[in-house]
Structure formats: structure tokens, C-alpha cells
Amino acid sequence: MSKKKEKSISPYSVDLLKIAKDIGVYKNVFFDIKRPLTEVDLAQVPHLEWVPIDLLEFLRLRNGVTVRWHLDDAATGHRVEGKVDIRPIQHIYGSWQDIVYFGHEPAAWLARMQAFHIVDFFADEACVGLFHTPAQDPELHYYDFDAAPTPLGVDFRGYLALLAHTLGYRYWPLLLLELQAPTPATRPWHPRRPQTQALVQGLQQHVPGFDLAAFVARYDAVCLPTPA
């Protein structure tokens, strides 16, 4: 009986509880966990069979999670922020018109972007989502509402595991973009792009216990296989 219960809460609750515990060091925190999924929620999802099983299992336990925190950096005077906004299933698989697409784009682009659905709306200017198609591809993509969505090399379960390392530090998925670059990164890995270097520095300064080597090791453990 105990083994069955443990299976039902792992790994999602473990990672989420770690986020909740670690984020407690910040003074300005908003934490909202939605209720579990209902049959009414599920009925609103077109082609429910296309939803990745890891995402569906997470949302069955808590249909949406929002975390926001901020602090003032005494050294620079700048505000440091973090946000996680995993949308409820009826929002993820609802219409994203006028946010992801507008209806006047070229036909091929419009058709592709109508299939893109936001999962983690972590910033007003960027998000992480996936494509809802018969291919049932579980890979998450980074989208900044400008260029085309870029694959991150992880599914939702891997994303959540990495999120537990970063606590939703602003724009942390950019680390995955560099790790997912066409030329495989060497190990030990160190960021080459100035933006990613600044991101790592901020994580080390403001996220308790953040360790780049541990983050990269977790990425290597959860990343999706590279297509042959």
C-alpha cells in the first residue's frame, strides 16, 4: 500500500515540495496551487490522447501552479525575480489567439502556431510550451513571441526536475537553449554566451544551493534522446 502511494506522488510532489521549501528564503513570495483535475476540465481538452502522460499526471494532482518571488539586490539595487506559471489544462489546450498567433500570418506558420500551447508562462515576454499534434511529441519548446519556438531537449518531467534547481529564476530556460545547441556541449559545461553567463552568475548569487555542475548533471539525466 505504501509503495502505491509513493508512486502516485513521485516525482512531481517531491520536486514541487523542494521548490516550496527552498523558495521560503524569500520574503516576497506568492504561491498558488490549484485544485486537482476534474472530468469537466478533461472534457474541454481536444484530443486528450495527445497530451503527454507526464504533464497529464502532474495536472491530475494540481491543475496549475503559480509561484512568484522577488528580492532587491543590495549590491546593484536591481530587483531579482522568479516566476513559475504552469497553466491549468483548460488554459494550456484552449485558444492562444492574439498571444501566440494573430490570424494574419502566412498559412504554414499559422497552422503550426495554432498547434503550439503554452505550459509555463514564466514571463510576459517568453514562455515554454509544446505542440499538440497527432505526433504526440512530449518535447518542450522555448518561445519568445518573435522567432519560432526552439526545442529544449526535455519533456515536462525533465523540465520540472530542472525547475527545482532554479526556483523559476527569471529566464532560466535559456540555459537549456545553450545546452540544446546543435553542437553538443562538452563536459564540464560552462556557458559561452554573455546572457547565459550573467544568468548563471545570478542563479549562483540568488538561488540557495544552486550548483551549475549539479544542474548540468540533472539535465544529462533527464534530456530526451537525440533523434538518429
Residue 152 predicted with pLDDT over 60: yes
Q: What is the pLDDT of residue 2?
A: 37
Q: What is the pLDDT of residue 182?
A: 64
Residue 196 predicted with pLDDT over 90: yes
28 bridge partner residues: 70
Q: Is residue 167 part of a domain?
A: yes
Q: Is residue 69 part of a domain?
A: yes
Q: Is 16 left (phi over 0), alpha (psi -120 to 50) or beta?
A: alpha
Torsion, Cα of 20, 213, 219, 92 (10° steps): 40
Q: What is the pLDDT of residue 217?
A: 94
Q: What is the pLDDT of residue 10?
A: 44
Query: How many domains does the chain contain in total?
Result: 1
Residue 194 predicted with pLDDT over 90: yes
Q: What is the pLDDT of residue 77?
A: 78
Residue 9 predicted with pLDDT over 50: no
Mean pLDDT computed over every residue of the chain? 87
pTM (2 d.p.):
0.88
3-state secondary structure of 130: strand
Q: What is the pLDDT of residue 28?
A: 81
Q: What is the pLDDT of residue 187?
A: 83
Decide: residue 219, CB within 10 A, 0-12 exposed, 13-18 middle, 19+ buried: buried
Residue 1 predicted with pLDDT over 60: no
Q: Is residue 228 part of a domain?
A: no
53-67 average pLDDT score: 92
The CATH number of residue 214's host domain is: 3.40.1580.10
Decide: residue 78, CB within 10 A, 0-12 exposed, 13-18 middle, 19+ buried: exposed
State pLDDT tens for residues 211-227. 999 999 999 999 998 76
Please count the other Cβ atoms lying within 10 Å of the Cβ belonging to residue 14: 13
Q: What range does the domain containing 9 cover?
A: 2-222
Of all residues in the chain, the percent with pLDDT exceeding 90 is 65
Which one has a higher pLDDT value, 154 or 105? 154
State pLDDT tens for residues 73-98. 777 778 889 999 999 999 999 999 99
Q: Is residue 120 part of a domain?
A: yes
Distances (CA, A) of 106 to 126, 194, 224: 22, 34, 31
Q: What is the pLDDT of residue 22?
A: 66
State pLDDT tens for residues 45-56. 999 999 999 999
